[in-house]
Structure 1
Amino acid sequence: MLPIRERRTSTDRRKNDEAIAAELAVALAEGQIEILFQPQFFCASDALAGAEALARWNHPVRGRIGAETMFALAARAGMSEALTRRIASQALAAAAAWPADLRLSLNVTASDIAADDFATVLADVIARSDFPAERLTLELTEQALVRDMEGSAEQIARLADSGVRFALDDFGAGFCNFRYLKILPLHYLKLDRTMVEGIVNDARDLAVLRAIVAMAGALDLAVIAEGIESEAQLEKVRAEGCALFQGFLRARPMEAASFARFAHDGE
């Protein structure tokens, strides 16, 4: 039998998870989940390429809750699939009104990839939308893949066969298992912002960027530079051959209606 203190802790945790699940269910029902869009641009032309969808929970008491915390709460409450469905549905619905040459990027969590029916669930969401799978990119982090690489590869391959593209997100933020690049059907490497912060003034940082871009080119992967905040940084990633960039230099995340106007103004 557990000590009284441990039993109380376990009971408190269960009650807290139940409360979170109830709050999240209300959030999904009442539209408290908001999708912002972070524009992405072509390095070569500065033209708009699409946007990454960023989810936020506008909690009436706790205030705005970011995606990482929100998904962690959803995982503990057993609501990851419901949350993923809602975010994907909202983002795809908004993107369906964009100009036909723009792409949408969605983030994929560890809970998503771990679910046996993830590919089936997402394929169903895409099929119910008016947004073509060929214009959708799913961004994966190493944390989302590390638990079961073979299972992840199978799920990814099923969606890739339907036209969905995949990016390995936050590349360079931590220890990189290069086996991902070998066995996963990836299309993009998305550099973590720490990989571009010093490229203007630090020769070693620039050399690392150059090596990553060369490796990506050999693997037929396009490179996306994240966290571009100065013209000097943009000039460097452009010169080194990065395909796409995003960051506060050109635009901050914006609400769906604002991004739609931004996208159509650029036509």
Structure 2
Amino acid sequence: GEGPGALLARAGEALGQARASDGAMLRFAHPGNVAPLDLLGADLHHAIERGEIDIVFQPQVSIKTGRITGVEALARWRHPTLGPLGADPLFAAAERADLGLALSDHIQQIALQRAAHWPTSLSHLRLSINVTAADVARAGFVQLFLDRVAASGFPLEQLTVEIIETGLIVELDRAARVLDQLRGAGVRVAIDDFGTGYSSLVYLTGLPVDYIKIDRALVSHIDGADRDRIVVRGVIQIAGQLGLGIVAEGVETAEQAYLLGQLGCETYQGFLRAGGLEEDALVAMVEEEIQCAA
């Protein structure tokens, strides 16, 4: 007796949980096995106040040296009954509850404050934080964001903002102006999940960016068929000719990292090195690198 809309909503919620998990897994979209977004949205109203929304840092690694050069701040919801929830269900719940901007503000502020107080061993790392389409469309966002960075004390020149390419389609001209102002202030700009949208090449010509992040969907098959490698090689070559840096997402094997390096990719992030780390674990990993290099 369930309508197609409700069925697809449950399937989407199950998919969001699977994507947020630490590895490949199945999620069955039975009623009761996934939390409805309406309930998560209601919980989210109080989650920020209770400090349940937090971040972890995923390393970004130089393929050439094997050293960690930066991190991406990833949102996590430590739900009291459902356990850890990743960014997909978190932002889906925020959209349902009309809390997208409040959530984005909260995550950016936490990430900047944490990174501003990093120990010396992490002081050389770049910090990447996510900016949403709603942020870009917000009146006065650039000054609000720059004021937030200044208040945290984190160096602008070590900061990268990542924006998901599918969120730029409607407001491409406005996004270009916003990103240009951020770059003028010293912030680097990356297009996240590159290759999943239908207008990827338009973004390369129409937006002022410094990096592209190749989506895991392209990376995951690079060690398979020749056709997959050809597509990734084409993306890397175009980016290189435009003077853009390249970060590959979702790298899980040494062979994938090697092939990406052979194709000209400089940096990767993925479970080959680590998933999202608490700050203590990140410090331990970087300090071990420093000791090994000494």
> How far did residue 19 of structure 1 move?
7.4
The answer for the alignment partner of 1:200 in structure 2 is 223
Deviation at 1:165, TM superposition (A): 0.8
- For residues 260 and 100 of structure 1, what CA distance do their matches in structure 2 show? 10
Q: Counterparts in 2 of 1:164-175, with a 5 A limit?
A: 164-175=187-198
Corresponding residue of 2:111: 91
Q: Scaled by the length of structure 2, what TM-score is found?
A: 0.79
Rounded Cα–Cα distance in structure 2 between residues aligned with 1:200 and 1:18: 40
The structural deviation recorded for 1:264 is 3.1
Match for residue 247 of structure 1? 270
Supply the distance in 1 between the matched residues of 2:112 and 2:285 (Cα, whole angstroms): 17
State how many pairs are aligned.
252
| Secondary structure of the structure 2 residue equivalent to 1:266 | helix
Choose 203-212 or 186-195, whichever is displaced more: 203-212
| Worse-superposed segment, 32-41 or 194-203 | 194-203
Pairing 1:68–2:88 present = yes
C-alpha separation in 1, matches of 2:114 and 2:162: 18
Report the alpha carbon displacement of residue 31 of structure 1 after superposing the two structures with TM: 0.9
Does the 8 Å contact 1:169/1:192 carry over to 2?
A: yes
Task: State whether residues 108 and 144 of structure 1, in contact with CA within 8 Å, keep that contact through their aligned partners in structure 2.
Answer: no
- Alpha-carbon separation, structure 1, partners of 2:250 and 2:214: 9
The amino acid of 1:201's aligned partner reads G
Moved more, 170-179 or 243-252: 170-179
CA offset at residue 76 of structure 1?
3.5
The match for 1:38 is: 58
User: Separation in 2 of the partners of 1:223 and 1:252?
Assistant: 19
* 8 A Cα contact 2:108 2:130, kept in partner: no
Choose 204-213 or 112-121, whichever is displaced more: 112-121
CA distance in 1, matches of 2:205, 2:198: 16
Whether 1:29 aligns to 2:49 is: yes
Identity over aligned pairs, percent: 39
CA shift for structure 1 position 86: 1.5
Unaligned stretches of 5+ residues in structure 2: 1-35
Partner residue of 2:288? 265
Q: For the residues of structure 2 that align with 1:17 and 1:196, how far apart are their CA atoms?
A: 30
Once the two structures are superposed, what CA deviation does each residue of 1:167-222 show, in whole Å capped at 9, x if it has no partner?
Answer: 11111223234221112110111111121222223111111121111100111001
Structure 1: unaligned runs, 5 residues or longer: 1-15
Aligned match for 2:199, one of 158, 168, 176 = 176
Instruction: Please list, as runs of the form range in 1=range in 2, the aligned pairs for 1:1-267 lying within 5 A after superposition.
Output: 23-96=43-116, 97-98=118-119, 99-267=122-290
How far the C-alpha of 1:17 sits from its partner, in A, is 9.4
Deviations 1:1-37 (A, max 9, x none): xxxxxxxxxxxxxxx9997666334222221012011
